[in-house]
Chains A and B, each alone.
Chain A
């Protein structure tokens, strides 16, 4: 039972982390109509910078804060130098251009940090367990991740529902004239929104760094999940991204934990051992396929984009 609760919490934590990543992606698409494949690169940059800054300063918290700020800056720089020239173009151009960025970033990281990858170790005060419920111990760090991501989700909610910027987001404002008519500096807005998206990606990257990995190509792997979540939740919808991310997080985590056992009941141990990893990976794609059949625009879509 405790294992089940732990796995549920893991699913929640993973889902929330994915939400951070997907929220940034869907935000940028919703406002600027920009498909950004290099979103995963920003995730990677966040992780690498966190590992580096933590090593330099000796402090986990300081390292993380610096990394977040630096990723924000990198994101805004990318927007100014590259993304601006892509607005209004065909999505194919976005895909190709940002694909070029992925190649560039992967190689740049390899040039600076080498091909091996880095590790980011937790400070002792985070590297413990705490008792969530009587008798149920859970990693303090993972719990912290859950708390932080929920706080960010709340922040995004306030941003989207209560502020002027949020109103633009909700209106799916890819209409520049309308935005301009509201007295908003569009150029600045776009840079800030992209920066926010980058910061969210970077935050996701640096938070998972102590748990999972810091290596080249990590962005590409998780980008797919962000895409799946965006498709399931509906492009442009943050609420959709949250629901879908949690769904994906739970199904993937619980699926990987319990599917092998489940299969052993149904199939022979050998067949179960062969099929389990493959089927576990497939689960979220099956979910996506089901959503596609039932509601092709996504669960919370804002209408044809």
Chain B
């Protein structure tokens, strides 16, 4: 962060913008932009968690949105059953996500490549169907959350500005955590396994264990994002975990640039802002987004990071 490279400047500008956003929103009397960016920050956290296993770990999970749903429903269900305290809801959200990740990871990591993609996809859909089948909690229609997670005063999640800053702080914390993680011994094992799993085993690393732990950490972090998302929307529905949402997360990671800690944040901002802009132009904006995605894959594979000059040596 010492040199004045293009990327550093862009990063600094982005971070400053995120921090100052509520100020701008207040001055411009624009509530919408605050809502939009709260959502962006939360999904950025989900994308950061996915990047841990996808970008750094090379594990192509197509079921990551499941954790958004699990975290979200933990909050929603507990709120519905009369447990509004965030101090209960959020640990449950994290614990449930961790458990799900543990079981799914243990089964899925026995495979690799295409199988892994399909299996994570299938298990996440299974979770979707289970949740959609829970008539008590709204099934397909979803569940409204009457009151956001309650914490001790003065923390009030109902206050839009406070909530935004809470999400932002948590995002920064997540970024710091991931940064420490990927540069630690553990992180190097994960990166080595991505680069050449067989060689890692040949030199003495039982890579399965490490990948599984990484998978659980990523799932848990995404579960937290899910809890935040539930609070943000005051609503949870199975659609949060439909597999195309997992696709959206992957798009954010690749768009931003895999394998850098900040990449997913670029990706989330870029994708969601792009969606807003495009849907302003035409109702059928996905017709533009689809081919655009294809073009990125074919010609700008390094994502925004690549465009800003951060090179990966694959």
Judged by CB atoms under 8 Å, the answer to whether A and B touch is: yes
> Interface residues, chain A, CB within 8 Å of chain B?
29, 35, 82, 85-86, 91-93, 95-97, 99-108, 110-111, 220, 224, 227-228, 230-231, 235, 273-274, 277-278, 281-282, 285, 288-289, 292-293, 296-298, 305
> Interface residues, chain B, CB within 8 Å of chain A?
60, 62, 107-108, 110-111, 113-115, 117-119, 121-123, 125-126, 129-130, 132-136, 243-244, 247, 250-251, 254, 284-287, 289-294, 296-298, 301
Whether the Cβ atoms of B286 and A93 lie closer than 8 Å is no
> Which residues from A are CB-within-8-Å of B114?
29, 35, 91, 235, 305
Q: 27 pairs across A/B with beta carbons < 8 Å? A: A82-B294, A95-B117, A95-B250, A96-B251, A97-B298, A99-B250, A100-B294, A102-B244, A104-B287, A105-B290, A227-B122, A231-B118, A231-B119, A235-B115, A274-B134, A274-B135, A274-B136, A277-B133, A282-B126, A285-B123, A292-B108, A292-B110, A293-B107, A296-B111, A296-B115, A297-B111, A305-B114
* Complex alpha-carbon distance, A228 and B63, angstroms: 14
* Complex alpha-carbon distance, A293 and B104, angstroms: 12
Whether the Cβ atoms of A102 and B290 lie closer than 8 Å is yes
The 6 closest A-B CB pairs, nearest first, are A104-B290, A100-B293, A278-B133, A281-B129, A103-B290, A277-B133
* Complex alpha-carbon distance, A289 and B298, angstroms: 34
- Per a CB cutoff under 8 Å, which of B113, B117, B118, B244 touches A220? B244
Q: Contacts A278-B129, A289-B107; is A100 near B289 (CB within 8 Å)?
A: yes
* Complex alpha-carbon distance, A209 and B266, angstroms: 42
Whether the Cβ atoms of A278 and B134 lie closer than 8 Å is yes
Q: Contacts A96-B251, A97-B297, A224-B125; is A231 near B115 (CB within 8 Å)?
A: yes
> Which residues from B are CB-within-8-Å of A278?
129-130, 133-134
* Complex alpha-carbon distance, A75 and B113, angstroms: 25
The smallest beta-carbon distance between A221 and chain B, in angstroms, is: 9
- Per a CB cutoff under 8 Å, which of A29, A228, A282 touches B130? A282
Whether the Cβ atoms of B129 and A296 lie closer than 8 Å is no
- Per a CB cutoff under 8 Å, which of B125, B243, B247, B291 touches A104? B291
Most buried by A among B62, B135, B290: B290
Whether the Cβ atoms of B289 and A281 lie closer than 8 Å is no
Whether the Cβ atoms of A103 and B293 lie closer than 8 Å is yes
Whether the Cβ atoms of B297 and A230 lie closer than 8 Å is no
Q: How many A-B residue pairs have CB under 8 A?
A: 125
> Which residues from A are CB-within-8-Å of B289?
100, 103
> Which residues from B are CB-within-8-Å of A101?
290, 294
**Would you call the interface of chain A mostly helix, strand, loop, or mixed?**
helix
- Per a CB cutoff under 8 Å, which of B60, B119, B133 touches A92? B60
> Which residues from A are CB-within-8-Å of B243?
220, 224
- Per a CB cutoff under 8 Å, which of A110, A231, A282 touches B129? A282
Whether the Cβ atoms of A97 and B287 lie closer than 8 Å is no
Q: Contacts A82-B294, A231-B115; is A96 near B134 (CB within 8 Å)?
A: no
Closest to B131 in A: A278
> Which residues from A are CB-within-8-Å of B294?
82, 96-97, 100-101
* Complex alpha-carbon distance, A171 and B244, angstroms: 34
* Complex alpha-carbon distance, A110 and B290, angstroms: 14
* Complex alpha-carbon distance, A305 and B112, angstroms: 9
Q: Given A95-B60, A100-B289, A281-B130, list of 16 further CB < 8 A pairs?
A: A95-B250, A96-B250, A101-B290, A101-B294, A107-B286, A107-B287, A108-B287, A224-B125, A227-B118, A231-B115, A277-B133, A277-B135, A282-B126, A285-B123, A293-B107, A305-B114
> Which residues from B are CB-within-8-Å of A97?
293-294, 297-298
* Complex alpha-carbon distance, A103 and B290, angstroms: 5
> Which residues from A are CB-within-8-Å of B254?
92, 96
The smallest beta-carbon distance between A151 and chain B, in angstroms, is: 28
> Which residues from B are CB-within-8-Å of A105?
290
* Complex alpha-carbon distance, A158 and B149, angstroms: 62
* Complex alpha-carbon distance, A82 and B295, angstroms: 10
* Complex alpha-carbon distance, A224 and B289, angstroms: 23
* Complex alpha-carbon distance, A110 and B286, angstroms: 10
- Per a CB cutoff under 8 Å, which of B122, B135, B286 touches A106? B286
Whether the Cβ atoms of B115 and A100 lie closer than 8 Å is no
